[in-house]
């Protein structure tokens, strides 16, 4: 494979400083809406990066499930990412929408969502996904796929006679942003990059970065 010669020139759009809104959350919402309208594949998929006790990063793709004053996603609190976020409540997100030649990087502090919000989202999920949250000891070593299938059968049987409620080890996190970078691909790798940095709760500074 000639990986070094895989190239794509970006020519769809431009991003100017006077075109973005004063609020990066509002700007992000506009871009997300455009990605959804353009039928981008999994527009709410985002790379989540965390840090472990040895200060080593790890990342994975998770799904954005809510947007208010932060970015909300859900997981098993006992998973690797769940434990890392509770021990070091800082993280970075990256959205990539190749069909629009755009990406957005976000950094910030992390908090748990309320139990009421976690309950509400949990009960909005398909029943199979609710069962899966009980069946999977996420991030732990398991002997085989059969182990998961047996656990799924066990939990399905259990909740035929018991109310299917949210597991205590499962719930939401909210990343509260302190940094945004909006990236628009441009020709000759001279991409547009606009950064927002939080100064106060309501105030952000804006600047342009060289590609």
What does the DSSP 8-state code read for residue 205?
Answer: E
d(CA 142, CA 207): 48
- As beta bridge partners, residue 206 has 196
DSSP H or E run through 172: strand 170-184
* 64 backbone dihedrals φ, ψ, rounded to 5°: -70, 125
E-assigned strand segments in 33-136: 45-51, 57-63, 66-67, 71-76, 90-97, 102-112
- As beta bridge partners, residue 205 has 197
d(CA 73, CA 71): 7
Q: Is 189 one of the annotated active-site residues of the chain? A: yes
Q: Which of 13, 60, 158, 189 is catalytic?
A: 189
What does the DSSP 8-state code read for residue 5?
Answer: G
* 75 backbone dihedrals φ, ψ, rounded to 5°: -165, 180
Nearest to 96 by CA among 60, 43, 59: 43
The catalytic residues are 189
């Amino acid at each position: 494979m000639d990986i070094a010669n895989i190239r794509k020139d970006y020519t769809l759009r431009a991003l100017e400083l006077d075109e973005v809104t004063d609020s990066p959350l509002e700007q992000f919402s506009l871009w997300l809406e455009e990605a959804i309208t353009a039928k981008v594949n999994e527009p709410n998929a985002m790379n989540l990066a965390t840090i472990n006790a040895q200060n080593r990063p790890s990342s994975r793709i998770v799904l954005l499930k809510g947007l208010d004053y932060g970015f909300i996603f859900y997981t098993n609190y006992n998973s690797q990412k769940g434990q890392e976020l509770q021990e070091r409540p800082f993280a970075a997100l990256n959205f990539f929408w190749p069909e629009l030649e755009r990406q957005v990087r976000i950094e910030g502090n992390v908090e748990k969502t309320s139990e009421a919000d976690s309950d509400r989202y949990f009960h909005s999920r398909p029943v199979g996904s609710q069962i899966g949250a009980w069946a999977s000891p996420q991030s732990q070593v398991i002997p085989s796929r059969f182990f998961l299938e047996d656990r799924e059968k066990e939990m399905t049987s259990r909740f035929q006679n018991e109310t299917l409620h949210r597991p205590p080890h499962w719930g939401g996190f909210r990343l509260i942003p302190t940094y945004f970078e909006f990236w628009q691909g441009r020709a000759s790798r001279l991409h547009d990059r606009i950064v927002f940095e939080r100064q106060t709760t309501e105030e952000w500074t804006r600047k342009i970065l060289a590609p």
